Structure 1
């Protein structure tokens, strides 16, 4: 059988090592940036969750004519068993109906 390509050439070990080095450097640069922003992402996620719970408190007040507790909301169809932010911070509904992150001493 006759060879179609006379000059078959693959990548050398040195070329492969250079590519691996470049990929490693890019990963080392990008990982700290991602972890730096994860706390900010958690904070914004909790803020959004609090806004959503405030809306559910208003819906509960309209339907039942009283301000609910977080336990009532999580047991009802309004929150379905969720009583904390996505990052794990517990939330609390105050007597005026506002929603805040509960401090550990209040729990």
Structure 2
């Protein structure tokens, strides 16, 4: 009489191997997700900076632009700047919490000093606090 099936030892070995694979894969997946969010945030900042340059070239340079994003709307003093974005809304930071999104994710400033214009975009979220794009033109 022969019995077919797995022994308890074989099942335990499989469970241990799966546990090791999960312990290795989860941190790697978390790091990949975080890196993707940071790259998306930097891409958003490049888009904002490019639109700042366009805004300045249309004769609006010298203005300080403060951008505040909310859940459903963008508040700014320059509606002509927001018109440069798809739908007239700034891109949202993928790392922002709900509170950060409500208080604003990005800070954008155009400064003009004699013959030099400086464009600066900063991500104000905790996850992207070190993210910054500068350009002197």
Give TM-score scaled by structure 1 length.
0.59
Partner of 1:21: 16
Unmatched tracts of structure 2, length 5 or more: 68-75, 112-117, 126-137
> Counterparts of 2:9 and 2:123 in 1: how far apart (Å)?
57
Between the two structures, name the one with larger relative contact order (CA 8 Å, sep ≥ 6).
Answer: 2
Give TM-score scaled by structure 2 length.
0.50
Rg bigger for which structure? 1
Q: Are the structure 2 counterparts of residues 37 and 59 from structure 1 closer, same or farther at C-alpha, using a change threshold of 3 Å?
A: same
Partner of 1:65: 59
Question: How many aligned residue pairs are there?
Answer: 97
Q: Are the structure 2 counterparts of residues 21 and 103 from structure 1 closer, same or farther at C-alpha, using a change threshold of 3 Å?
A: closer
Partner of 1:93: 108
Higher share of residues assigned helix: 1
Unmatched tracts of structure 1, length 5 or more: 1-5
Higher share of residues assigned strand: 2
Would the aligned equivalents of 1:50 and 1:99 in 2 still touch at CA under 8 Å? no
Would the aligned equivalents of 1:83 and 1:91 in 2 still touch at CA under 8 Å? no
Over the aligned positions, Cα root-mean-square deviation in angstroms equals 3.4
How is 1:77-88 mapped onto 2 (pairs within 5 angstroms)? 78-80=85-87, 81-82=89-90, 84-88=92-96
